[in-house]
Structure 1
Amino acid sequence: MKLALATLAALALATPAAADLDCTNTAGHWTGTMEGALNGATAMDITAQCRVTWTLPDGRINDCRYTNRGQNIEYSCSLGSRGSVAFDRGNIIMENIYTAARHGAYVVNVSRVSR
Protein backbone atom coordinates (compact mmCIF):
# COMPACT_ATOMS: atom_id res chain seq x y z
CA MET A 1 0.00 0.00 0.00
CA LYS A 2 2.78 2.43 0.92
CA LEU A 3 4.58 1.59 -2.32
CA ALA A 4 1.42 2.33 -4.34
CA LEU A 5 0.95 5.69 -2.61
CA ALA A 6 4.61 6.59 -3.13
CA THR A 7 4.36 5.66 -6.82
CA LEU A 8 1.22 7.79 -7.30
CA ALA A 9 2.85 10.71 -5.53
CA ALA A 10 5.96 10.42 -7.72
CA LEU A 11 3.86 10.29 -10.88
CA ALA A 12 1.87 13.34 -9.81
CA LEU A 13 5.04 15.31 -9.17
CA ALA A 14 6.64 14.15 -12.42
CA THR A 15 3.64 15.21 -14.55
CA PRO A 16 3.30 18.99 -14.62
CA ALA A 17 -0.26 19.72 -15.77
CA ALA A 18 0.49 23.11 -17.33
CA ALA A 19 3.54 21.80 -19.21
CA ASP A 20 1.28 19.74 -21.50
CA LEU A 21 -0.81 22.76 -22.45
CA ASP A 22 0.55 25.01 -25.18
CA CYS A 23 -1.43 28.18 -25.91
CA THR A 24 0.63 29.30 -28.91
CA ASN A 25 -2.38 28.92 -31.22
CA THR A 26 -4.68 30.88 -28.90
CA ALA A 27 -2.23 33.62 -27.91
CA GLY A 28 -3.46 37.12 -28.66
CA HIS A 29 -6.19 39.62 -27.84
CA TRP A 30 -9.78 38.34 -27.54
CA THR A 31 -13.04 40.24 -27.01
CA GLY A 32 -16.64 39.24 -26.45
CA THR A 33 -19.36 39.12 -23.84
CA MET A 34 -19.91 37.91 -20.32
CA GLU A 35 -23.43 36.89 -19.36
CA GLY A 36 -24.70 35.95 -15.92
CA ALA A 37 -23.39 37.37 -12.64
CA LEU A 38 -21.85 40.26 -14.60
CA ASN A 39 -23.12 41.28 -18.01
CA GLY A 40 -21.35 43.20 -20.70
CA ALA A 41 -18.28 43.50 -22.89
CA THR A 42 -15.15 41.69 -21.81
CA ALA A 43 -11.63 41.28 -23.17
CA MET A 44 -8.65 39.05 -22.52
CA ASP A 45 -5.04 38.77 -23.55
CA ILE A 46 -3.69 35.22 -23.70
CA THR A 47 0.02 34.35 -23.79
CA ALA A 48 1.65 31.27 -25.33
CA GLN A 49 2.28 30.09 -21.73
CA CYS A 50 -1.50 30.00 -21.08
CA ARG A 51 -1.54 33.08 -18.84
CA VAL A 52 -4.68 35.17 -19.26
CA THR A 53 -5.22 38.82 -18.35
CA TRP A 54 -8.98 39.19 -18.34
CA THR A 55 -10.74 42.57 -18.13
CA LEU A 56 -14.18 42.08 -16.62
CA PRO A 57 -17.25 44.14 -17.63
CA ASP A 58 -16.89 46.22 -14.45
CA GLY A 59 -13.26 47.09 -15.29
CA ARG A 60 -11.52 44.79 -12.78
CA ILE A 61 -8.52 42.78 -13.97
CA ASN A 62 -8.61 39.04 -13.33
CA ASP A 63 -5.28 37.22 -13.84
CA CYS A 64 -5.94 33.63 -14.87
CA ARG A 65 -4.19 30.50 -16.07
CA TYR A 66 -5.40 27.69 -18.32
CA THR A 67 -4.39 24.16 -17.27
CA ASN A 68 -5.07 20.56 -18.31
CA ARG A 69 -7.23 18.45 -16.07
CA GLY A 70 -7.54 15.01 -17.57
CA GLN A 71 -9.16 15.47 -20.97
CA ASN A 72 -10.45 18.95 -20.10
CA ILE A 73 -8.99 22.44 -20.08
CA GLU A 74 -9.82 24.52 -17.05
CA TYR A 75 -9.08 28.00 -15.76
CA SER A 76 -8.36 29.45 -12.35
CA CYS A 77 -8.18 33.16 -11.62
CA SER A 78 -6.83 35.61 -9.07
CA LEU A 79 -10.32 36.79 -8.11
CA GLY A 80 -11.25 33.22 -7.16
CA SER A 81 -13.26 31.96 -10.11
CA ARG A 82 -12.56 28.52 -11.59
CA GLY A 83 -14.22 26.67 -14.41
CA SER A 84 -14.13 25.00 -17.80
CA VAL A 85 -12.69 26.23 -21.09
CA ALA A 86 -14.09 25.10 -24.45
CA PHE A 87 -13.13 25.99 -28.01
CA ASP A 88 -15.95 26.28 -30.54
CA ARG A 89 -15.50 27.48 -34.15
CA GLY A 90 -12.85 30.06 -33.35
CA ASN A 91 -14.39 31.14 -30.04
CA ILE A 92 -13.35 30.47 -26.47
CA ILE A 93 -16.17 29.73 -24.04
CA MET A 94 -15.46 29.87 -20.30
CA GLU A 95 -17.99 28.80 -17.69
CA ASN A 96 -17.44 28.97 -13.92
CA ILE A 97 -18.74 25.51 -13.14
CA TYR A 98 -16.79 25.18 -9.87
CA THR A 99 -17.38 28.57 -8.25
CA ALA A 100 -20.85 29.60 -9.44
CA ALA A 101 -22.33 29.41 -5.94
CA ARG A 102 -19.76 31.87 -4.61
CA HIS A 103 -19.28 34.17 -7.61
CA GLY A 104 -22.59 33.84 -9.42
CA ALA A 105 -23.00 31.76 -12.56
CA TYR A 106 -21.67 33.17 -15.82
CA VAL A 107 -20.60 32.23 -19.33
CA VAL A 108 -17.93 34.12 -21.27
CA ASN A 109 -17.78 33.92 -25.07
CA VAL A 110 -14.86 35.62 -26.81
CA SER A 111 -13.34 35.64 -30.29
CA ARG A 112 -9.85 36.63 -31.40
CA VAL A 113 -9.20 40.22 -32.41
CA SER A 114 -5.44 39.97 -32.99
CA ARG A 115 -2.49 37.67 -32.45
Structure 2
Amino acid sequence: MQDDVLENNFNILRMFVRIYGASSAPTLLAKSITEAEEKYSYLLSALDPQLALTYKRRCEEATKEGGKVVGPPLGTWCIPPIIEDEDLYRYEISNTRPPGTS
Protein backbone atom coordinates (compact mmCIF):
# COMPACT_ATOMS: atom_id res chain seq x y z
CA MET A 1 0.00 0.00 0.00
CA GLN A 2 2.85 2.37 0.79
CA ASP A 3 4.16 2.41 -2.79
CA ASP A 4 0.66 2.88 -4.15
CA VAL A 5 0.16 5.90 -1.89
CA LEU A 6 3.50 7.40 -2.92
CA GLU A 7 2.81 6.87 -6.62
CA ASN A 8 -0.93 7.62 -6.30
CA ASN A 9 -1.81 4.28 -7.92
CA PHE A 10 -5.22 2.67 -7.66
CA ASN A 11 -5.42 0.24 -4.78
CA ILE A 12 -8.60 -1.49 -3.65
CA LEU A 13 -7.75 -0.99 0.04
CA ARG A 14 -7.24 2.75 -0.53
CA MET A 15 -10.64 2.85 -2.23
CA PHE A 16 -12.27 1.09 0.74
CA VAL A 17 -10.59 3.53 3.14
CA ARG A 18 -12.00 6.49 1.22
CA ILE A 19 -15.50 5.01 1.01
CA TYR A 20 -15.85 3.38 4.44
CA GLY A 21 -13.20 5.07 6.59
CA ALA A 22 -9.96 3.76 8.03
CA SER A 23 -11.50 1.85 10.92
CA SER A 24 -14.06 -0.09 8.82
CA ALA A 25 -12.12 -0.60 5.59
CA PRO A 26 -10.01 -3.66 6.57
CA THR A 27 -13.01 -5.57 7.91
CA LEU A 28 -15.21 -4.75 4.93
CA LEU A 29 -12.44 -5.62 2.47
CA ALA A 30 -11.90 -8.96 4.22
CA LYS A 31 -15.66 -9.58 4.06
CA SER A 32 -15.71 -8.79 0.32
CA ILE A 33 -12.76 -11.10 -0.31
CA THR A 34 -14.41 -13.88 1.68
CA GLU A 35 -17.66 -13.50 -0.27
CA ALA A 36 -15.79 -13.55 -3.59
CA GLU A 37 -13.85 -16.66 -2.55
CA GLU A 38 -17.06 -18.40 -1.51
CA LYS A 39 -18.65 -17.59 -4.87
CA TYR A 40 -15.49 -18.80 -6.62
CA SER A 41 -15.64 -22.10 -4.70
CA TYR A 42 -19.30 -22.54 -5.52
CA LEU A 43 -18.76 -21.88 -9.23
CA LEU A 44 -15.71 -24.15 -9.29
CA SER A 45 -17.75 -26.96 -7.73
CA ALA A 46 -20.35 -26.56 -10.50
CA LEU A 47 -17.78 -27.27 -13.21
CA ASP A 48 -17.20 -30.68 -14.72
CA PRO A 49 -14.76 -32.36 -12.27
CA GLN A 50 -12.05 -32.87 -14.91
CA LEU A 51 -12.31 -29.26 -16.09
CA ALA A 52 -12.18 -28.05 -12.48
CA LEU A 53 -9.06 -30.11 -11.83
CA THR A 54 -7.39 -28.80 -14.98
CA TYR A 55 -8.28 -25.25 -14.00
CA LYS A 56 -6.90 -25.68 -10.45
CA ARG A 57 -3.64 -27.11 -11.80
CA ARG A 58 -3.27 -24.19 -14.19
CA CYS A 59 -3.88 -21.71 -11.37
CA GLU A 60 -1.19 -23.41 -9.29
CA GLU A 61 1.23 -23.31 -12.24
CA ALA A 62 0.52 -19.62 -12.80
CA THR A 63 1.11 -18.91 -9.12
CA LYS A 64 4.50 -20.65 -9.29
CA GLU A 65 5.33 -18.84 -12.54
CA GLY A 66 4.67 -15.61 -10.66
CA GLY A 67 7.41 -16.53 -8.19
CA LYS A 68 5.46 -18.08 -5.31
CA VAL A 69 6.99 -21.40 -4.32
CA VAL A 70 5.83 -21.88 -0.69
CA GLY A 71 2.50 -21.65 1.08
CA PRO A 72 -1.00 -22.33 -0.19
CA PRO A 73 -0.94 -23.01 -3.95
CA LEU A 74 -3.34 -20.20 -4.78
CA GLY A 75 -1.85 -17.70 -2.35
CA THR A 76 -3.14 -15.91 0.73
CA TRP A 77 -4.43 -12.44 1.54
CA CYS A 78 -2.65 -9.97 3.79
CA ILE A 79 -4.19 -6.57 4.48
CA PRO A 80 -1.39 -4.06 5.15
CA PRO A 81 -1.51 -1.25 7.71
CA ILE A 82 -3.83 1.61 6.78
CA ILE A 83 -2.41 4.99 5.84
CA GLU A 84 -5.12 7.39 7.00
CA ASP A 85 -3.50 10.67 5.98
CA GLU A 86 -1.88 10.07 2.60
CA ASP A 87 -0.69 13.67 2.21
CA LEU A 88 1.08 13.53 5.58
CA TYR A 89 2.57 10.14 4.70
CA ARG A 90 3.95 11.46 1.38
CA TYR A 91 5.31 14.53 3.14
CA GLU A 92 7.03 12.50 5.86
CA ILE A 93 8.55 10.08 3.34
CA SER A 94 9.78 12.86 1.05
CA ASN A 95 11.47 14.56 4.01
CA THR A 96 13.18 11.41 5.33
CA ARG A 97 14.68 10.02 2.12
CA PRO A 98 18.30 10.72 1.31
CA PRO A 99 18.85 13.20 -1.56
CA GLY A 100 18.77 11.58 -5.01
CA THR A 101 16.28 8.82 -4.12
CA SER A 102 12.61 8.71 -4.94
TM-score by length of 2: 0.26
Identify, as 1 or 2, the structure richer in strand: 1
TM-score by length of 1: 0.24
Computing the radius of gyration from Cα coordinates, the structure with the larger value is 2
Q: Which has the higher contact order (CA 8 A, sep 6+)?
A: 2
